[in-house]
A and B are shown apart, each in its own frame.
Chain A
Amino acid sequence: MYARYDHARDDLGRVTLEQQDGLLFQGYGTNNVLTLNYAYDARGQLQAASAMVNSNTVPLTDRYFSTTYDNAANRTMVRRLGTTSAYDRSYTPNALNQYSSRDNLPYDDARGMAPSGVTVSVVAQSTTDAPRRRSSGTRRRT
């Protein structure tokens, strides 16, 4: 089996839980289903998404996303790839619902997968059109 996706929906048809399994997800552990949980606000806007393993009990903290919105449905904050405020990026919309500015973190965490016991190195780069940090060699489990 290459990949299998199971979805659970709430009464409004929104996906609230998604389970991913198969060859594509074996990096998370053989027969270990990856579970994504989705939460929505009262307007139906996606508020948070988290990834869990081990029967939906162990969170993958760097696979966490959350978003806040203003009353015009503009983003005002995005927390991406982390559960703490260190991963927050604020958005500033203007009266025309255009984003006039956005926070930009000075770095992103390197992430990937590799079999256990494999040495993974991260190479720093500082050029403008190339990644500043990119994993080399086999990827590491997130």
Chain B
Amino acid sequence: MQTDHSSTQQTVAGGDGRGNVTVLLDALATDPNTPANNLKAGVEYAPYGEMVRSTGDLGQMPFRFQSKWALGQGWTGGWPVELLDFGRRVYAPGGIFHLPANHQLGIHLDVGFFGGWGTARADDSPESLAMGSGIALFGVQALA
């Protein structure tokens, strides 16, 4: 149960069998027999966590793939890309572009670019991205 005290909204999250949060429901719905009225947000995930399809307001759904906190969201090509906080690592399922300010850059399983032209940015971590023309170099940083 998630309660937004500023608007008195209450929502309930539901997930699949692989630990992903996939739906967010209105807990105060007056007509629970009409599912379409109660579904506030829903997501389909690809195997590695990319959002294949979504509906509703994802801003109300902070916990997503593997129930991890979504730090932010951007776009690459036609794909929404999000940054997931795995604790000591930030994972960008569809590619990494730039991180929230002051966030440590760890190992990333994937890299990508806005528009595909090597225009990605990273935070001020020296281990972060070194950009070339269509090629990204980055290191594996052991965060103590």
Show the binding face of A for B, using Cβ within 8 Å. 1-3, 5, 7, 15, 18, 20, 23-25, 27, 36, 38, 46, 49, 63, 65, 75, 80, 96-102, 104-113, 126-135, 139, 142
B140 nearest CB across to chain A (Å):
5
- The one of B16, B53, B112, B116 in contact with A5, judged by C-beta atoms closer than 8 angstroms, is B16
Complex contact A2–B14 (CB within 8 A): yes
7 contacts between A and B (CB under 8 A): A15-B17, A49-B47, A80-B50, A108-B116, A109-B78, A128-B114, A132-B116
Contact between B78 and A135 (Cβ–Cβ < 8 Å)? yes
> Could you tell me if B17 and A101 are in contact, using CB atoms closer than 8 angstroms?
no
Cα–Cα distance between A142 and B44 once the two chains are bound (Å):
13
Minimum-distance CB pairs A-B, first 4: A108-B77, A131-B75, A110-B78, A5-B16
Within 8 Å by CB of A134, from B18, B53, B75, lies: B75
- Count CB-based A-B contacts (< 8 Å): 118
Question: Which residues of A lie under 8 Å from residue B46 when comparing CB positions?
Answer: 49, 63, 65, 80
Known contacts A24-B42, A128-B117; A107/B135 CB under 8 A: no
B residues sitting closer than 8 Å to A (CB atoms) are 14, 16-18, 22-23, 25, 35-36, 38-39, 42, 44, 46-48, 50, 52-53, 55, 74-79, 109-119, 134-140
Q: B residues within 8 A CB of A98?
A: 138-140
* Contact of A2 with B75 at beta-carbon distance under 8 Å, contacts A99-B111, A102-B135, A142-B53 already known: no
Does B111 lie within 8 Å of A3, measured CB to CB?
no
Given contacts A104-B112, A104-B116, A128-B117, contact A133 B78 (CB under 8 A): yes
Q: Is the CB of B135 within 8 A of A101?
A: yes
Assembled-state Cα–Cα distance A119/B51 (Å): 23
Closest chain A CB from B80 CB (angstroms) = 9
List, in ascending order, chain B residues with CB within 8 A of A135's CB: 78
